[in-house]
Amino acid sequence: MNVGILGSGLMGGKLGTLFARAGHGVVFSYSRSQEKLQGLARDAGGRARAGTPREAAQEADVLLLAVHWSRIDDALKQAGHLVGKIIVTCSLPMNEDDTELVVAHTSSGAEELARKAPEAHVVAAFNTVPSEVLFNVFEAASRGGRPSLVYCGDDGRSKDSAARLITDVGFDPVDAGPLRIARYLEPFGLLVAQLAYEGDGGPELAYRFERFGSSKHR
Ligand SMILES: NC(=O)c1ccc[n+]([C@@H]2O[C@H](COP(=O)([O-])OP(=O)(O)OC[C@H]3O[C@@H](n4cnc5c(N)ncnc54)[C@H](OP(=O)(O)O)[C@@H]3O)[C@@H](O)[C@H]2O)c1
């Protein structure tokens, strides 16, 4: 696939690099430094290159939105036409100093985003892992160790594309249901961050869901 990266920081830089290493065409965009975008593209190799948000969007099958919540409107505006595009968002709707969610309980950042870009298909994914795990997960996948990664969205075909990217990064994709489930995923993302950055384990923390039988067998 062609993947446009909108926001090439901790998440966008690493995920874009791994998408390129998995064979996808990647355009890194939306940074204050053009040199940084070019360096990311060079290090990622494959079919990765630097571009403007508009170029990233024009060619993309999937756009990864990885900006702070306060930058969402600007990033969408710079991206331009998004008719029929799949937007995979890892952005959590945080306040300026990242101490709390500014959208919660009765809606979610992912649903707000879908309202801002009604012509696109939004999938929420990658917002429940710290960026520090991504390279380790990618490397461990070839040895068979796959943590879970939860995603949600309303459009089946878009979710299939997101699940492919999730698998390519090394996770076992767990479909959590429609986009409104982001109301629970986004606080879960904060729980993971809390455990990763405040707990004893350090930031290299991922999670695994296990099913213990089904009600049929009770
Ligand atoms: N980091 C994590 O572990 C993690 C985990 C789960 C979810 N998230 C969510 O993912 C999203 C991205 O987080 P992140 O940690 O990747 O953020 P980040 O490292 O700060 O990256 C944000 C990107 O936006 C760019 N940017 C900011 N202001 C800009 C401006 N005025 N003009 C152009 N570009 C601008 C930054 O540019 P520069 O390249 O110039 O800095 C950077 O490339 C957030 O919503 C966060 O809540 C993050």
* Closest C-alpha to 167, from 22, 27, 1: 22
Asked if residue 62 lies in contact with residue 3, where contact means CB atoms within 8 angstroms, the answer is yes
- C-alpha neighbours within 13 Å on the C-beta side of residue 35: 0
Please, what is the average pLDDT of the chain? Answer: 96
Q: How far, CA to CA in Å, does 5 sit from each of 46, 184, 208? A: 15, 25, 27
Note the pLDDT of residue 133: 96
The residue nearest atom 25 of ligand 1, judged by CA position, is: 31
Q: Which residues contact 135 (CB under 8 A, 6 or more apart)?
A: 14, 18
What is the percentage of the chain residues whose pLDDT exceeds 90?
A: 92
In angstroms, what is the span from residue 74 Cα to ligand 1's centroid? 13
pLDDT-based confidence at residue 217 (cuts at 50, 70, 90): low
87 lines ligand 1 (CB under 6 A): no
Q: pLDDT tens across 56-112, in order?
A: 999 899 999 999 999 999 999 999 999 999 999 999 999 999 999 999 989 999 999
In angstroms, what is the span from residue 176 Cα to ligand 1's centroid? 25
Kindly state the greatest CA–CA separation across the chain: 59
Find the mean pLDDT for residues 203-209.
93
* Token pair belonging to 102: 């500014």
Measured CA to CA, the distance from residue 191 to residue 214 in angstroms comes to: 26
Note the pLDDT of residue 218: 54
Q: Is the pLDDT of residue 212 over 70?
A: yes
28 lines ligand 1 (CB under 6 A): no
Determine the residue of 68, 185, 190 to mutate for testing ligand 1's pocket, defined as the one with the most ligand atoms within 8 A of the Cβ atom: 68
Find the mean pLDDT for residues 114-131.
98
Q: Is the pLDDT of residue 181 over 90?
A: yes
* Token pair belonging to 172: 């076992």
Ligand 1 atom nearest to 98, measured from its CA: 47
Say if strands 2-6 and 172-175 run parallel, antiparallel, or are unpaired: unpaired
The residue nearest atom 31 of ligand 1, judged by CA position, is: 32
The residue nearest atom 36 of ligand 1, judged by CA position, is: 31
